[in-house]
Amino acid sequence: MSRFDFTFQQGSEDNTGGGCFPSRLKEHDQWLVTQEKKPVAPSKGWQKSVNLLPFTEAQNKAEQPGGEVGFCFTKSGPFVGFDLDDVKEDGKFTDEALGIVRRLNSYTEVSSSGTGLHIIGEGERLDDRKHRDDFSESGHLEVYDEGRYFVLTGDVYEGFTSVKSRPTVVQEVQDEYLPECQKFSFTGQQKPVSEQEFDGGQTDATPEQVHRTMRAYVNSDNHDVDREVLRLWRGSDEGRNTTSEADMALVKQLYYWCKGDQQLMDECFRASGRIRPKWDEVHSADGATYGEMAIRKVCRTNSDTFGGRYV
């Protein structure tokens, strides 16, 4: 019996297909099928809402050995996910983790490892907070509202069966448990970009504008630009030995397209298909994260920047 089959024999919010997966989630075409936590339907492009499946279709496709359904958080969807990982001590969930469960008071399930909890509610992830931080007791918290998915178990915790809209509490929990995003600052070794180098002082571009401009230039016969940038943005590792090497290749591209603006580079990477928890993991004794180190390294060595206007 697969784990997917097992979850449908648990208690239920309703007795229709889908076990105790909340009907609020099943109303949205934000589902995919995984095997060993990796997407198989769709296997690629699952970050795009147009490629995601209705619940019933995902359920049917998952009725194969090892198949499990996952719920994907999308930019257009109203949902936010709290992933509480490794929050069990001596066989019990920590008081810190359970405090968040009770405050959010929304759909909560035990993760497949048995040592974590998934909470799904309605609300938004705060842009000025990092995705991840460690708890003071045990484990860590990650928060997502797009570009990530939870492999759902249906193993509901303590009767928290329904998805609730609690935007104020969602914000308060992030304010309390997630650190603020660090604004990038130039050091003496880095190469700051003067305002004159920004076309007409255009320093307030968005990741959407940058991505749109990349596509326009790549698809134009009038411009000679590296076409690999779009493949890297989608999350492909093709032609690279490791995922980290591909990450660095995109960061180098972003230096050019973002005109050396470190903050915009970070925002673009987060908007791309490459974003993963490692981006916010501390990788230096001075507290710098993997993402900050990658961006600062590129800013010390690169100099060529995009000279046009964003579209």
233 and 170 within one domain? no
Question: Cβ distance 74 to 120 under 8 Å?
Answer: no
The answer to whether residues 79 and 173 belong to one domain is yes
**Does 148 reside within a domain?**
yes
Are both 108 and 243 inside the same structural domain?
A: no
111 close to 153: Cβ distance less than 8 angstroms = yes
pLDDT at 195: 35
Last residue of a domain, one of 177, 203, 231: 177
H-run or E-run covering 255: helix 243-257
Would you say 80 and 122 are in contact if contact means Cβ atoms under 8 Å apart? yes
Domain that holds residue 290: 195-301
> How many other CB atoms are there within 10 angstroms of residue 55's CB atom?
20
Position 258 scores a pLDDT of: 94
Q: Per the domain annotation, does 297 fall within a domain?
A: yes
Residues 90 and 116 placed together within one structural domain of the fold: yes
- Tracing tokens 């974003």 back to the chain, one arrives at 275
Nearest to 164 by CA among 229, 103, 86, 220: 103
* Residues 128 and 42 both lie in one domain: yes
Strand duo 79-85 + 88-89: pairing:
unpaired
* pLDDT for position 192: 39
**280-301, pLDDT tens digit by residue?**
988 877 778 999 999 989 988 8
189 domain-assigned = no
Q: How far is CA 219 from CA 47, 210, 215, 226, 304, in A?
A: 22, 14, 6, 11, 21
β strands within the chain, DSSP E: 31-35, 38-41, 67-73, 79-85, 88-89, 92-93, 107-110, 117-122, 132-134, 140-144, 148-151
Coil/strand/helix, residue 122: strand
Give yes or no: residues 167 and 200 share one domain: no
Q: Is residue 79 part of a domain?
A: yes
Identify whether 188 is part of a domain. Answer: no
**Domain count for the chain:** 2
**Are residues 109 and 221 both part of a single domain?**
no
> Cβ distance 39 to 70 under 8 Å?
yes
Give the residue among 277, 99, 300 at the shortest CA–CA distance from 192: 300
The pLDDT of residue 191: 40
Does 187 fall in a domain? no
Q: What pLDDT score was predicted for residue 222?
A: 63
- How many other C-beta atoms can be found within 10 angstroms of the C-beta atom of residue 231? 18
Judgement on whether residues 133 and 212 belong to the same structural domain of the protein: no
306 is a domain residue: no
Non-local CB neighbours of 293 within 8 Å, separated by 6+ positions: 283, 284
| Same-domain check for residues 51 and 169 | yes
* Omega prior to 65 cis, within 30 of 0: no
Q: At 180, give phi and psi (nearest 5°).
A: -70, 150
Residues in the chain: 311
**Based on the domain organization, do 48 and 167 belong to the same domain?**
yes
The answer to whether 142 and 277 have CB atoms below 8 angstroms apart is: yes
Q: Decide if 311 is inside a domain.
A: no
DSSP 3-state of 254? helix
- Point out which residues pair with 33 in neighbouring strands: 41, 69
Residues 208 and 112 in one domain: no
- pTM of the complete model beyond 0.85: no
Q: Which portions of the chain are predicted below pLDDT 70?
A: 1-19, 182-204, 221-224
Same domain, 63 and 107: yes
Contact between 255 and 298 (Cβ < 8 Å): yes
